[in-house]
Amino acid sequence: MPQIKKDSKNREVRFIPLDDLEVRGEGDEAKIVFGMAAPYERQTDLGYFKETFARGAFKAGIDEKRDAFALFHHDFANVLGRTGAGTLKLEDRADGVHYELDMPDTALGRDLLVSIRRKDIEGVSVSWPYDSVKDEWDHSKDPPERRILEAELVEMSITAIPAYTDTTLAERSLDAAREEFQTAHANAQANENQPVAPSVRTLRLRARQLQ
């Protein structure tokens, strides 16, 4: 199951177990890791809500060649590649974001290649700034459904399954959405006699659905 986290750097993180994490080439000289970082139009159950990346959700940042990093376990002290250096390539396709990573010839890089070949590591994590997200929530469903329309992929990590509990952290993200809607609702009530923009009306309606 994909796992969710809003970390201390104000990023949302997803661990996506996929069976297509591979090393290209043969023998000890092979060091190109490739696969899919984030699938599109595939709904996943995060415990407290379900989530889907809309097709092209990460396309803008990739097309604009914004710098993105490949890390080990989301640690910027362990950089494995970078789009700005050409050692990480990201491609937006119809089915999701695909990557190609030229692993460094370092102790960490060599050790990770061994772990990937052994299938000790079979997935990657991706993260994006929390405030870069454009999304839609459907709170009429149980559990609620979230559709991410746009986000900026700032880094992907090769990592084993994280140690945090997915349901606890999914609840935090849902609570953040509830807080946003309820704040908009409170602000709208405080200005009840003033013209309300359509976007605020929408938020007010969603907030009432949460009560």
pLDDT tens for each residue of the chain, 211 residues long: 444 444 445 778 877 665 556 676 555 556 888 888 888 999 888 777 888 999 999 999 999 999 999 999 888 999 999 999 999 999 999 999 999 999 999 999 999 988 888 888 877 888 888 888 899 999 888 889 999 999 999 999 888 764 333 333 445 556 666 676 566 656 656 665 554 444 444 444 444 544 4
Task: Determine how many CB atoms are found less than 10 A away from the CB of residue 12.
Answer: 20
User: What is the Cα–Cα distance from 205 to 38, expressed in whole angstroms?
Assistant: 31
Q: Is 19 exposed, middle or buried (0-12, 13-18, 19+ CB in 10 A)?
A: exposed
Distance CA 123, CA 35 (A): 9
Confirm whether pTM is higher than 0.85: no
pLDDT of residue 67: 93
- Identify the sign of the CA torsion 82, 35, 63, 53: negative
Q: What is the pLDDT of residues 159-175, one digit of tens each?
A: 876 433 333 344 555 66
